[in-house]
Chain A
Amino acid sequence: MRIVTDPGSQSWYEASARQRIAALVDAGTFEEFLGPAERAMSPHLPLFDLPRAFDDGIVVGRGKLDGRPVLVAAQEGRFMGGAFGEIHGAKLVGLLRAAIASKPAAVLILFDTGGVRLQEANAGETAIAETMRAIVDARAAGIPVIGLIGGRAGCYGGGGLIAGTCSRLAVSESGRISVSGPEVIETNKGAEEFDSRDRALVWRTMGGKHRRLTGAADAYCADTVAAFREAAITLVGTAPAFDLATLEAEQARLEARVKRFGDCRDATEIWARLGVNDPDAVPAMTDAAFAKTASSVTEASHDAR
């Protein structure tokens, strides 16, 4: 009775971490490190009487992308919202450090995370910092680090910070990137500032289309694994160098962004200033129509990072 489909056509949003990797890299090339059989599990969760996962919610390993060797990490958003814990973080940091030794064509990080696990917050926060450091080291060694974001949990908290250090990001409409989540903002600043139940507002502010138009993400994909694969291949080939010029360009870009849009009350105002003709139509646009709109916005594509 199962509906059999081409793995590439499956929804990225719906797929598990393992399904995403299997269809993202060249068929049959993925080799997992420290897989579930090794039982590398959180030492902290049992203290809270919480169930553990054999892979601590992250799959890491190597494979080939379009024939070239890559290292891949995929967070499983369905286990504790893909949150960072000690083992989870250590697997990602280890993978990034291995990249410096093995010199793959790229490291791909498939984000799907709400941030740090509250139950192992110190270890999780440390893992975030170590991951950012390891990404910088990998990029400095000439290895592009590409983030792919389109999962159910989005890319929040420390995940949002890590995404900011990547060489390139690809995002789908349902993907969200931010540091504080909608509920956190509402709790701290009130529903008048940000109504977390207004999901259209959440997506306008943190969703894939907005992140693409403002240049926070470098590619916009339809919600299929095949589209993410295609984006990953392209982004590996266009990753900017990691040098002083790139960092200065990024600093200048971000300063200009605050200056230009700092007084906007809603994302639609930003889109209007970016030259989008009918900003209110953006959320309902099809992927194809949106891709066309995004390509006409000059600020959306840049070599800063």
Chain B
Amino acid sequence: MLKVEGLRAGYGAINILWDISFSVDAGEVVAILGSNGAGKTTMVRAVTGMVRPTAGSIQFEGEELAKKSSRFILDRGIVQVPEGRQIFTEMTVLENLEMGAFNKATRAAFSKNLDVAYRHFPKLKERAKQAAGTLSGGEQQMLAVARALIGMPRLLILDEPSLGLAPNIVDDILEVASGMAKRDRIAVLLVEQDITKALACADRGYVIENGRIALSGTAEALSANEHVKKAYLGI
């Protein structure tokens, strides 16, 4: 579904990603792993068009997206839950979710998708009229995920959903994402620093180090890998 090859990107004169290749298929949860500063978020920004790649290709269902605008890519169904959530804190929960409907199709299906989002995260329904900034960190992360679901993703990208959250909340969020991958056959790209959690939920994974893919394989193979154990799991 998504096939990235030889992706190179950065900010101005500073290059961050050197040569990134990976793929995600429908119905699959793929983890992109790496420590702080490895280039994970830059990769997300390059795939979603918020940073213009300097080389390489990003193919989504056969269409080249590498030079396209973030809006164009969003319209193709690549929706992200960004790092740091990026919700609208002074707007209500419901207004935040409304903002997730970014085009005609998603606006037409809004009430149906809102029900789905509320079913996944009932807390949000209780707090629909509350300002988003008054929610707890976990609820804000749920809101960011729910906002992405309103956009009817075909590829859902989660950037560091575990950051600063209690483990059980992270589990809930990852369960929703992997449930959607299996049930609705969407592709999920999980970008994480918490490798244990990510590999527990993912089918396959890639490890980024210094802007390059250092390792790849099934979740089991990566969990068993000596380098991963030593460098990331502290075993």
**A and B co-occur in one complex:** no
